[in-house]
Amino acid sequence: DAGVTQSPTHLIKTRGQQVTLRCSPKSGHDTVSWYQQALGQGPQFIFQYYEEEERQRGNFPDRFSGHQFPNYSSELNVNALLLGDSALYLCASSWDRGSETQYFGPGTRLLVL
Amino acid sequence: AQSVTQLGSHVSVSEGALVLLRCNYSSSVPPYLFWYVQYPNQGLQLLLKYTTGATLVKGINGFEAEFKKSETSFHLTKPSAHMSDAAEYFCAVSTPSGGSYIPTFGRGTSLIVHP
């Protein structure tokens, strides 16, 4: 049973560029959430997708956007990158009917220079 | 609103000693509580969770946690530390909101295990 997968594992970008991160949920899961984990911090919720719609959003600017596809996979897009966007980006999946537990992927480490 | 406080950014123990990682939460409704572990350069792995029922919850790798409503605490323990337990541990609280559950995480506690 494949768990949550994310790609790429690492990414280096420069300020002002745009980036797209990808996530495939755990088999049987239909809900995808994205988190930003800065160095030395706990994960911070960015947004959650269910039925191809953004269902909830955390305190992140509009530069952060996402998408969910019919196969439940998801993308996180960040525009106009800032140095402060450097972080580990985690994707988590869950099943809407039992959604209190989220299962995390290995993350994508983004470095903005 | 919900929040989590993890007391101690670093906890150092000797191999074989008791592990105690502290977590206090704030929630206006009955919460779900979680402990996750993060090994270097990896994602978060679920250790254990409390939803309802028995307040003493057993997880993987010999860890357990007890939900104490009166103290708003959910401390993580393990009787005997192993070198492989060295990692970052995150406590999280989750309550229903907008049809889903979004966990709020603490800042994490780094567990250091000495030989």
Q: Is B59 on the interface with A (CB under 8 A)?
A: no
Nearest-by-Cβ selection for B107 from A42, A99, A100: A42
**pLDDT band with cut points at 50, 70 and 90 for residue B95:** confident
Q: Which residue has 């000495």 as its token pair?
A: B114
Q: Determine the Cα–Cα distance for residues A38 and A58; give it in Å rounded to an integer.
A: 15
- Asked if pLDDT for residue B99 goes beyond 80, the answer is no
Q: Is A100 on the interface with B (CB under 8 A)?
A: yes
Q: What digits encode the pLDDT tens for the residues B15-49?
A: 999 999 999 999 888 889 999 999 988 889 999 99
Backbone angles phi, psi at A98, to 5 degrees: -130, 50
- Identify all chain B residues contacting A99, using CB atoms and an 8 Å cutoff: 100-101
Sign of CA dihedral A43, A41, B61, B53: negative
pLDDT score at B96:
79
Residues of chain A below pLDDT 70? 1, 97-99
B39 in A contact zone (CB under 8 Å): no
The Cα A78–Cα A69 span in angstroms is 18
Residue type, A49: Y
Tokens of B10: 């670093």
